[in-house]
Chains A and B, each alone.
Chain A
């Protein structure tokens, strides 16, 4: 997290409290109205900003760490020296709230929005906040990764389990969710309070992974129960969770974004990665071009990211594909398709029920 500034940490600390307010709001009035109220409370700030190049400016807002996408952006600007990119790194919920608010006001502030919380962007597309863009690279995507020519999946990142090789014996490394359940089952399991996962109220991506799990298999119910019983830790953000595992605060972490884990694992041999063999969720970070009409320069950036060269640049930063070296076992891959079914993850009632179940499980043991 080379580029994570202080603002990001301050922001993260602020998240849980607002999460509760968010939830109450969602229960009462629905998400759309709620996000309209947000700026009155405390205007969200980007976690980090960096300017690339000099020229006509493309405003790119994304949840992706600047370091992960900087090489791709720089390569793009090398082909288009007439352009510059203002790279804003945001938290997923703030990014959604801001984009929805700007859409409602009819004043899109960004030219390109890329988020790992793809259900947010599907909702924005359904709310007519995204502009269509038709091009060769966009048309070459598989059907599951395009919707209405308004949203595109630009990466392939698995949701993995990471563990500390020093602290978890090789024989106990879980290969699947069933193995994880077995580890948590004994009365005095050493893993009690030592397993971490995303706080779904704070992280859009965490919510999405948990929600997809609940849709995909019945193991999720058992897993929630086991997490609750053993006092698992729900916390925010890939970086923090992985650092916790590295430092030994957690023995393992569930549903971590594979791209971050692989980057860390490349530096730290103690960090082990497992793609669950029962099924592995594969996330494609989604991109939209906000506004009624697409900005052609932002469209060119999108085309570059989808082109062979752009994909190669993203793959170098492990944003695409499962790295065969880092991956200890490959399972059945379940891509998270971009389309209507994700709208369910944005339904206020559904979200309220799901979070309430989650809070019931994690509520007492929450840090």
Chain B
């Protein structure tokens, strides 16, 4: 298995790590946003809770204001201070002032509310150098002896508010952290689950016997399907090439055993022959057999080449007429020299097919050579197109092979077996058949029994 060397495969960040990093970043960003939200919520909640306290205290004080003999009397209720003491660590500022801002009781130098509307209003300001929250409420009196507005300002420092806000935020953050961790854990499980099929695929590939080139089957996720199909196609090609190689070796052994044995026997005879005349005869026979053997080897290599190319060569659009012409021109010098004549019949329009030029030419040459060798003159070569089918045919005047041979034609070494060695011409048809198969076509045999015998390579017309 000579695959691409490992050195050139550089692993990048794993899919799992990418997913976990992405999800982690997502959770982190979400966590920051939620933490800010929790912080804002904590502040708001604490502010509202303690603002109510301020309202209660201010109203308590306001309701304790009365008019006695034309004078405003402020009898501060203890309940107001007990209410404010619910924020146990905070200092309290208060002021009750009559019309014209006249101080009735409390702290004189408190910051004034930003606007003096009728209703209660909150505002933030300092109390003796410490930030505080104030409320202002006013109460209007319309008595015979006194008419006017009395204003109550109550303020409180922010310690309890900040503590509560911190507490709420802290608790929210704890829940958030637990939730975030749980989500991260779940995300890990999900990532592992999602990448599971890939791991199982990798494990199956790894566990495979190196000789096992059968396609992978079973269920795979859609995203991975093209990859698995690619692997399967690759393995299929590899398998076919292995097969070709095996067959070549097996054919070679099969085809060469007998001729080589015969050669050896004749060489033995020739060595021991005392009569020079007979020895010369034997040597001539040995020569003839060697030539045949060479031819056989040529054909076998050619077939292996054709089968290999059928799998690996690029397919181009070709004109089938060019193929026929090339086959005729190349010819079989030996046979042509024996005085055989070949007629070429092609049409004017191009006949486009998809295939490998070299393989197709080889197939055509083999058909022609077969006809010249086994058929009867005249031999004709032609190209025709009928509908979607393109044909390259070779015709001779003979009756064609016997029915028995016909039935077995196209198999790998029919001719060789039938003739018991020798030229091995049956291999030629086998090559043509293999080529036809490689480019999605077939080998067709018609005629004989009176009509001219014709063999045709049938291919689909290319667009």
Could you tell me the distance between the alpha carbons of A32 and B96 in the complex, rounded to whole angstroms? Answer: 15
The residues of A that contact B159 with a CB separation of less than 8 Å are 148
Q: A22 within 8 Å of B by Cβ?
A: no
B109 CB to closest chain A CB, in angstroms? 9
Cβ–Cβ contact A215 & B78, under 8 A: yes
The residues of A that contact B74 with a CB separation of less than 8 Å are 349
In the complex, per-residue mask of A83-103: 1 if CB is within 8 Å of any chain B CB, else 0: 000000000000000000000
Could you tell me the distance between the alpha carbons of A32 and B110 in the complex, rounded to whole angstroms? Answer: 13
In the complex, per-residue mask of A350-365: 1 if CB is within 8 Å of any chain B CB, else 0: 1001000000000000
Q: A307 within 8 Å of B by Cβ?
A: no
Residues on A facing B (Cβ under 8 Å):
30, 32-33, 125-128, 143, 147-148, 215, 339-341, 343-344, 347-350, 353
Q: B103 within 8 Å of A by Cβ?
A: yes
Contact A344 to B78, CB < 8 A, known contacts A128-B128, A128-B130, A349-B105: yes
A-B CB proximity, top 10 nearest: A349-B105, A340-B85, A128-B128, A341-B81, A349-B74, A126-B91, A340-B81, A347-B76, A148-B89, A344-B81
- CB closest chain-A residue, reference B72: A349
The residues of A that contact B130 with a CB separation of less than 8 Å are 128
The residues of B that contact A341 with a CB separation of less than 8 Å are 78, 81-82, 85
B459 CB to closest chain A CB, in angstroms? 99
Cβ–Cβ contact A30 & B105, under 8 A: yes
Q: B125 within 8 Å of A by Cβ?
A: no
The residues of A that contact B75 with a CB separation of less than 8 Å are 349-350, 353
**What are 19 sample pairs from A and B whose C-beta atoms fall under 8 A apart?**
A33-B108, A125-B91, A127-B128, A128-B91, A148-B89, A339-B85, A339-B88, A340-B84, A340-B85, A340-B92, A341-B78, A341-B82, A341-B85, A343-B81, A344-B81, A349-B74, A349-B75, A349-B76, A353-B75
Q: B218 within 8 Å of A by Cβ?
A: no
Q: B107 within 8 Å of A by Cβ?
A: yes
Could you tell me the distance between the alpha carbons of A147 and B157 in the complex, rounded to whole angstroms? Answer: 14
Besides A344-B81, A350-B75, 19 other A-B contacts (C-beta < 8 A): A32-B107, A126-B92, A128-B91, A143-B88, A148-B89, A215-B78, A339-B85, A340-B82, A340-B85, A343-B81, A343-B92, A344-B78, A347-B76, A347-B106, A349-B75, A349-B96, A349-B104, A353-B73, A353-B75
Residues on B facing A (Cβ under 8 Å):
73-76, 78, 81-82, 84-85, 88-89, 91-92, 96, 103-108, 128-130, 159
Cβ–Cβ contact A347 & B78, under 8 A: no
Could you tell me the distance between the alpha carbons of A215 and B85 in the complex, rounded to whole angstroms? Answer: 16
- CB closest chain-B residue, reference A148: B89
Cβ–Cβ contact B105 & A347, under 8 A: yes
B205 CB to closest chain A CB, in angstroms? 68
Could you tell me the distance between the alpha carbons of A128 and B93 in the complex, rounded to whole angstroms? Answer: 11
- CB closest chain-B residue, reference A129: B128
Could you tell me the distance between the alpha carbons of A137 and B138 in the complex, rounded to whole angstroms? Answer: 45
Cβ–Cβ contact A30 & B92, under 8 A: no
Could you tell me the distance between the alpha carbons of A349 and B91 in the complex, rounded to whole angstroms? Answer: 19
The residues of A that contact B104 with a CB separation of less than 8 Å are 349
Could you tell me the distance between the alpha carbons of A155 and B435 in the complex, rounded to whole angstroms? Answer: 115
Cβ–Cβ contact A350 & B82, under 8 A: no
Cβ–Cβ contact B91 & A148, under 8 A: yes
Most buried by B among A33, A143, A343: A343
The residues of A that contact B88 with a CB separation of less than 8 Å are 143, 147, 339
The residues of B that contact A30 with a CB separation of less than 8 Å are 103, 105-106, 108
- CB closest chain-B residue, reference A33: B108
Could you tell me the distance between the alpha carbons of A344 and B82 in the complex, rounded to whole angstroms? Answer: 10
The residues of A that contact B108 with a CB separation of less than 8 Å are 30, 32-33
